Amino acid sequence: MDRVLVTGGAGYIGSHACKALARAGFEPVAFDNLSTGWREAVKFGPLVKGDLLDRAAIDAALSQYRPVAVMHFAALSLVGESMKDPGKYWRVNVDGALNLVEATVAAGIRDFVFSSTCATYGDQDGVVLTEETPQYPINAYGGSKRAIENIVTDFGAAFGLNHVIFRYFNVAGADPEGDLGEQHVPETHLIPLMLDAVAGRRPALTVFGSDYPTRDGTCLRDYVHVSDLVDAHVLGLKWLLDGRGSRVFNLGTGTGFTVREVIEASRAVTNREVPVVEGPRRPGDAVALVSGSARAIEELGWAPKRSTLRQMIGDAWGWASRPGYGG
């Protein structure tokens, strides 16, 4: 069975990717320092506890497991924190990725899937973002991800590192079968924060900014179901293993929802009110981010099946309602 090294494989998206890889016939090897990931989420292959800032640990994992490809999710990802401590993001995200890419090439592995972000585009209101949209990140998180894209493409040109780069939008939902879900510490994502407020685990949901130039004054985002997202990553891996060359793909639905619209959808799904308080805008937040994903649909054959707002909230609510959640 072919193996794939999955950095961040104990995290929210990485663990879902491991399940999708296992279902597709691969053995996922999760490489994670467990700083934000969960050992209990590693269910579909071995766990290597290691840090991307430790080059020797990466070399050892690649030597032991000899994967056919690397799938890179591990990163710091809190936009607000990146605005306050940019050095941390450049050091951990970029230095770690450089170690990983260099180790990958040194091990003779030539297929690399990188999980990037729409944050590389910055704040470009009124534009449906495509892969050709210029990248102007407005926070250190997006800037570090753009830098990693540059590293990957430079190593592609110099050493033949074939790569697929995914720039995706707001990921939401949980594994429909209940094996995995979203549980960050601290939690910063809208839907789990909202459901925590619904369930009484926090007093209220804070809406950051109500004076944006959108249809109701709150930020607008494109949401994609985590299961659909990782299905695209498996397709990207197969694209590379079939020798189809390097490519960049956006992953989203092309439809944006405001924060208030997400709250209204939650009321319909949970049949409960969402306690809300209004707060100021957060530094680094874009007004609106909406994806054009035609390339992934047409070229990869990606077909997002669960990325409706009600489905994403419903799957997340199922995960958040299970016994022991938050323990």
Segment 292-305, tens digit of pLDDT: 799 999 999 999 99
Residues annotated as catalytic are 141
Q: What is the pLDDT of residues 235-291, one digit of tens each?
A: 999 999 999 999 999 999 988 999 999 999 999 999 999 999 999 998 878 888 888
**Confidence class for position 325, pLDDT limits 50, 70, 90:** low
Are the CB atoms for 232 and 296 separated by under 8 Å?
Answer: yes
Q: Give, for 311, the enclosing helix (H) or strand (E).
A: helix 309-320
Kindly tell me if the per-residue pLDDT of 48 is higher than 60.
Answer: yes
- Arithmetic mean of pLDDT over the chain: 93
The rounded percent of the chain whose pLDDT value lies above 90 is: 80
Kindly list the distances between the CA atom of residue 244 and the CA atoms of 105, 237, 287, in Å, as whole numbers in the listed order: 19, 10, 36
133's tokens: 């949209």
Q: Which two tokens stand for residue 265?
A: 């959808």
DSSP-derived pairing of the beta strands 276-279 and 205-208: parallel
Rounded to two decimals, what is the model's pTM? Answer: 0.93
Do 190-221+254-320 and 3-172+224-251 have the same topology in CATH? Answer: no
Residue 327 has pLDDT above 60, yes or no: no
**Average pLDDT estimate for 39-61:** 97
Q: According to the model, what pLDDT value does residue 40 have?
A: 94
Going from N- to C-terminal start, the domains of the chain cover: 3-172+224-251, 190-221+254-320
The enclosing H or E element of 223 equals: strand 220-225
**Domain 190-221+254-320 superfamily per CATH:** UDP-galactose 4-epimerase, domain 1 (3.90.25.10)
pLDDT recorded at residue 290? 87
Q: So what's the architecture of 3-172+224-251 in CATH? A: 3-Layer(aba) Sandwich (3.40)
> Does 80 score more than 70 pLDDT?
yes
pLDDT at 188: 74
